[in-house]
Chains A and B, each alone.
Chain A
Amino acid sequence: GAGVSQSPRYKVAKRGQDVALRCDPISGHVSLFWYQQALGQGPEFLTYFQNEAQLDKSGLPSDRFFAERPEGSVSTLKIQRTQQEDSAVYLCASSLARQRLHEQFFGPGTRLTVL
């Protein structure tokens, strides 16, 4: 079956531009996560949704980062006024269960480069 998909796969933005990154989770998966992965490092948690509710956004690095999942399926991560330090791979993961920390399935990521 289809896995987690993300688009675009690559995004180049000029500093100060706004960007929107999309995640399509596995159908029926209740939980959705966003992570940021800098080069040579492990992913770092950004935010978590259970259906349409954003239950944890403690990892968002600044108020320039905003995520939504209005219908409990597709999610969008928006970064306003991008800065060079925002350059990273943004990974989306989904999980079937409401129970805490069920196995997570990851998408291929969006590589964002801010010039």
Chain B
Amino acid sequence: KQEVTQIPAALSVPEGENLVLNCSFTDSAIYNLQWFRQDPGKGLTSLLLIQSSQREQTSGRLNASLDKSSGRSTLYIAASQPGDSATYLCAVGRNYGQNFVFGPGTRLSVLP
């Protein structure tokens, strides 16, 4: 059974810092991996989708990497802003089935 963990559970940083969020998964036979952000009381917003054949994806100040063999993905946020404050979730797409398996999320607070 695929299990997904995220470290840290919560993170508080001053504005302007670069930061890394970590996601680990137990079964390396994945199809893809997607990073989301979730604002309080809201649904999930897709940030980056990495296919299993890719090693990274970039969008603006965000960069996500994938290392299938070690079962890890990282989300790098450059020059953090207070508007980045949210919960960040990683979700792993399995090689069988259609759904994603989600981690518990990292709650990020960027202080002005």
Residues of chain A having any CB pair with chain B under 8 Å:
4, 31, 33, 35, 40-45, 48, 50, 55-56, 58-59, 91, 93, 100-101, 103-109, 111
A-B contact count (CB 8 A): 64
Contact between chains at B46 and A104 (CB < 8 Å): yes
In the assembled complex, the Cα of A41 lies from the Cα of B103 at a distance in Å of 8
Chain B residues near A48 (CB, 8 Å)?
Answer: 97-99
Of the candidates A44, A91, A101, A111, the one having the most CB atoms from chain B within 10 angstroms of its own CB is: A101
Contact between chains at A42 and B97 (CB < 8 Å): no
Residues of chain B having any CB pair with chain A under 8 Å:
4, 31-32, 34, 36, 41-46, 49, 89, 91, 93, 97-105
Q: Could you show 27 A-B contacts with beta carbons less than 8 Å apart?
A: A4-B43, A33-B98, A35-B99, A41-B105, A42-B89, A42-B103, A43-B44, A43-B89, A45-B99, A45-B101, A48-B97, A55-B98, A56-B97, A56-B99, A93-B44, A100-B93, A101-B31, A101-B32, A101-B93, A103-B49, A104-B100, A105-B46, A106-B43, A106-B44, A106-B46, A107-B43, A109-B43
